[in-house]
Structure 1
């Protein structure tokens, strides 16, 4: 048992948000107790003591949506005119990059660098959505090793998509299935079933992944209505909007993370509420891609759980929370909104 004492502890607890001259008790890798230093030292007299020397202590941040491989997009050249639409951004940057990743070394260092940067800014858990179509088999184990080397927790998923054909789609499904069976509900690592987005997934693929994922009792990690292309595709192939189409296949449920949810309407918000799906907000990425502003205030009023991610734009949750705090005030032209929700998203 260890006691870290003489610290300024920020708890994010509404009832006791801050403890001056506080102490934290750690046992078997978990926080057992916290309080005022003198009271904790009197209660745990035989513990190993570590003086925090009046430093600030905060809970570790959880980056609820990250693409660690996006490290290699830094300085990525277009070789022509800059992309304008969201699909052009995917085609000219992200889909080029994920197809080129084909060695263990590339995948390892693409994860190691942002993991270190994230840890330096307070992130201790990363929920990652990975894609490396040049090397699929075992790729999630490579990510896991990188995070272990930095001592960061991870919830990992591989991006299933039909955009490169059925052979790679099937390999993606098998990688998800393999890793879920290996790591589901473990202490330091966990797994979700990764899906790219409705507009790159055909009906038979959605049927298959829904069957496998639900049989393994695992949630899905999927981009939802990030760009208008996702909505237009669902309307074209199913005569429904994105959230409706995914719900028909059983993708939306309590343990599923629906990333972005920008281009959605009131009916879709209600479906997200009814299915208890968690929505992940990525304000910097949304602004950078010019895809719009997610209706997070409306979803919050409906009681939908909303998390905060960085979507590969930055490893820093501090950067993301700054923008998450300011954006709804600008969007709604009301300086009173968004503050409490931003705190809860952390």
Structure 2
């Protein structure tokens, strides 16, 4: 058996880290175009500020720690794009920059930089913004209305209605098209599904963890509906509100913070779906996906090790059985 030594994150295909991160950037562009259509040019400025801030900080931290700076490393661009997409289009620049600082200074660089981080930097940065600016994070502009107006209307999202036990007052056609208030990248189910399809076709991510995450979340929503208008409506509104679908595509499949085998990644994602719903049902905020992701990141290595122990016992038992038959 030949062992190939390489730096993490370990890409399990013929593709390079550059091509994988490039695919992620390409898949995030339609979400920014959608945000631009609904909320105006400010969304693009938020994304640009975040990417520049995160990239410069990542470069400085890597350089000052005497680690090799990867010229073709697009991971700072990906994280810089992800953070604003999980926040409202009306968010100030200060929370976005602070989220970038926290993601770099606390989540990524102290653990050794690229591929060494235990926790997802984008989830960590947004979690910091939620804890610090919760009033701003969970108030959303109405799509199509201009953000240039100082009196722009800010409203709650369907996730907030579900938290109160009320059925969201938005038809499913609007939700699938993204015509409802929510995080910049969390609305627009059809575009998110198209992004997911692109990443799967390109083999940048596997469909199994996403399906496992959404499957267990849907089962929880079906068994324990928070609205009285029907179990199937409960499933549809839960899966399409907040960051659940966004996280199932872009956060669950993070190669650096998820388990390493296909089976363990699927188990990890299935548990994460339940944990995300528990945070929704019992957490202090209407949306606790980023906290669920961070919690599951902490158990990623344990899931890998536990599964390997089980597989090791099975191999030993099979070997003993074969030896007995031979004798």
TM over 0.5: no
**TM-score using structure 1 length:** 0.30
Which structure shows the higher helix fraction? 2
Structure with greater contact order relative to length (CA < 8 Å, sep ≥ 6): 2
